[in-house]
Structure 1
């Protein structure tokens, strides 16, 4: 009898402990850090554009990443690659990069969270708020004149050279394929969020990493999904997609109005082919004029309550053009890359637009 009571007591104690452990486990707070909440951004329905076109138009809210842009995904992948290759570690924790702003912000913030510092090289004609954000976040920045990629003073060349001199890690967002590989996940999210019903995907290209990774994933799932490039004036990528030649008339001597491109859109468009971009599977490209992008940005504010960056507005214009070109497609998805807060002094500044004779 005594032995029986001991067995019951022991059994009850084990059960009680198990229940208590299970309860405590449920009550624990997940210890997520900045790097753990990058990605899995929401997909929203753009009611005004959908009603205007008679199609279902959705946008992936990449501005809701912790660094307020799609470049968080790229930056995390580039930093992880640096650690995996031994180029970042105990002896070296400095990241070097040439950037138009957003990748630099993401590299700086994610780098800070992982104990790294950034030295960034940027063109000297970007929106002032980008420099302010980077300096506030602790990046060391150097402004350089906008020049051709073949010039040793190009911001990417400067970053690469300085990294070699100082023994740092050059992230190389344009040619490091960790960039496009990061966006297989973005493509996976889009496919799953649309329940596989997506017919057409539209976005711009800067480094080419995002459109490359997303297009590869979507095409693997369904080869009939159309992938459309939105390109700013002066960029050669649209011509490369449609005719196989990386050229635009602005390349002709005496025609270029502004270096590198004749546009107020920052951070996208290119006049060369990068290793990341060459992985993209694109069906067609549209050149989107500044006036169209500026008007779309205002429409998104007024009709959708979305205050987004210049390339995001350009993407949405390209959606409307894609609807006309592919009337058989029903579900269209684009990217809202970042917030409009980084574009107040130029893209959203009427005085700036008037001074530079940009229509809006």
Structure 2
């Protein structure tokens, strides 16, 4: 048996940006879903240098801004993002000598926030559970910051035609070539809608019979709007990077031929099982897309081919999708019955939806976002966990505005 070296066909790259795109297409082992007779292929976007599909649009949007004179040397790249677009923009900005400022909702994983900072970005964290149009919505904050900073350029992935354009020029042609023009369905989750719009448009131009299947979590507006043409009230969901509370310009309803809805529990379960059973380590939104792809494959049957886009790696979600405590706290795993619990279970699996006075304001903010509990109780560690107070976003913002540091303890900040 011979083993080829991944990326051997690239030769030596002169710049990290040369490694964006040209990602592999991976066949899902048939044993993962023995009841699905269609061939399931995974477009493996974690192979991009920034670790996600969003590297493609980051490069396209920055290059487009340069060509139009919107971004000049010494400028600042500003964007609102669920994390992956921000990482891609920060990578491209660092390679090209720009500053970056990223606005991110507080429900996103700490790994994503730390990645942005590792690229040298300034990170602004906003509340996740505010409606579109609210002044603290991450899109509004990014727009406001870009307007106030000299030399800043707002990428605006939700309204930037270079977003779907990147996928029309790269992702779609790659899939078509890798499949030798033989595929029956393309399945992808929708965040900005750019991936499915650009890729789907290219594939349907080559073969109008190809099904373009969008995937949504319950609570997102895409699937209801695609089905009815009416914009519903948005709900909440835990999966990151997909779903939306309004319809952006980067999504084209006419490109999509079918929609699947996959809830958080199924998304996370499929992602975790994929890692355990195949070694393919992906994020929660990949679990969402694959769950839908398996449904599509089961309907299409033998002799058919389904391509599922895998947006990113599981490394961004170790403290969420791959953390049993977080999953139990949020109802995605069953708790251990008290009668059967061991001391180890009680220590390892105790609910963590509480704060200690010595913990930091930064941790408090992240705990509120991760647990979805507002307000969070602040309790004494000993002797009996006495309730000392509560913490919510408004109070934390007041403390920070009054001069407290995110690294201050809750107790010291309260004394200011």
Q: CA deviation at 1:328?
A: 7.7
CA distance in 2, matches of 1:242, 1:287: 12
CA change 1:49–1:281 in 2 (3 A) is farther
Q: Which residue of 2 aligns with 1:165?
A: 148
SS of residue in 2 equivalent to 1:52: coil
For residues 2-81 of structure 1, what are the structure 2 equivalents within 5 Å?
30-47=12-29, 48-49=31-32, 51-81=34-64
Helix, strand or coil at the partner of 1:151: coil
- 1:281 maps to 255
**Match among 172, 188, 192 for residue 207 of structure 1:** 192
- Structure 2 residue matching 1:77: 3-state secondary structure: helix
Specify the alignment match of 1:337 in structure 2: 311
Q: Distance in 2 between matches of 1:79 and 1:329?
A: 41
What is the TM-score with the length of structure 1 in the denominator?
0.85
Q: Tell me how far apart the structure 2 counterparts of residues 359 and 238 of structure 1 sit (CA, whole Å).
A: 26
CA distance in 1, matches of 2:301, 2:251: 27
Once residues 202 and 127 of structure 2 are traced to their aligned partners in structure 1, the CA distance between those partners, rounded to angstroms, is: 37
* Whole-angstrom CA distance in 2 between matches of 1:107 and 1:237: 25
Aligned to 1:9: none
Question: What is the 5 A alignment of 1:74-93?
Answer: 74-90=57-73, 92-93=74-75
* Pick aligned residue for 2:77 from 95, 105, 115: 95
Total equivalences in the alignment: 320
Query: In angstroms, what is the RMSD of aligned CA positions?
Result: 1.7
Tell me, in whole angstroms, the C-alpha distance in 2 between the residues paired with 1:280 and 1:62: 25
Structure 2: which 5+ residue stretches go unaligned?
Answer: 1-10, 335-416
SS state at 1:153 partner: coil
Q: Which residue of 2 aligns with 1:223?
A: 208
Unmatched tracts of structure 1, length 5 or more: 1-28
- Which of 261, 264, 275 in structure 2 is aligned with 1:301? 275
Write the distance in 2 (CA, Å) between the matches of 1:344 and 1:53. Answer: 29
Match of 2:217 in 1: 232
Q: Give the match's secondary structure for 1:58.
A: strand
- Other-structure match for 1:124: 106
Tell me the TM-score normalized by structure 2: 0.74
- After superposing on structure 2, the runs of 4+ consecutive aligned residues of structure 1 that deviate more than 4 Å are none
> Which one has more relative contact order, counting CA pairs under 8 Å at least 6 apart?
1
Q: For residues 44-71 of structure 1, what are the alpha-carbon distances to aligned partners after superposition, in whole Å with 9 as ceiling and x for unaligned?
A: 1001346431111100110000101000
2:171 to 175, 182, 186: 186
| Counterpart-to-counterpart distance in 2, 1:38 and 1:313 | 23
Pair 1:196 & 2:181 matched? yes
Task: Supply the distance in 1 between the matched residues of 2:94 and 2:333 (Cα, whole angstroms).
Answer: 40
* Structure whose residues are more often helix by fraction: 1
Aligned partners of 1:105 and 1:133 also within 8 Å: yes
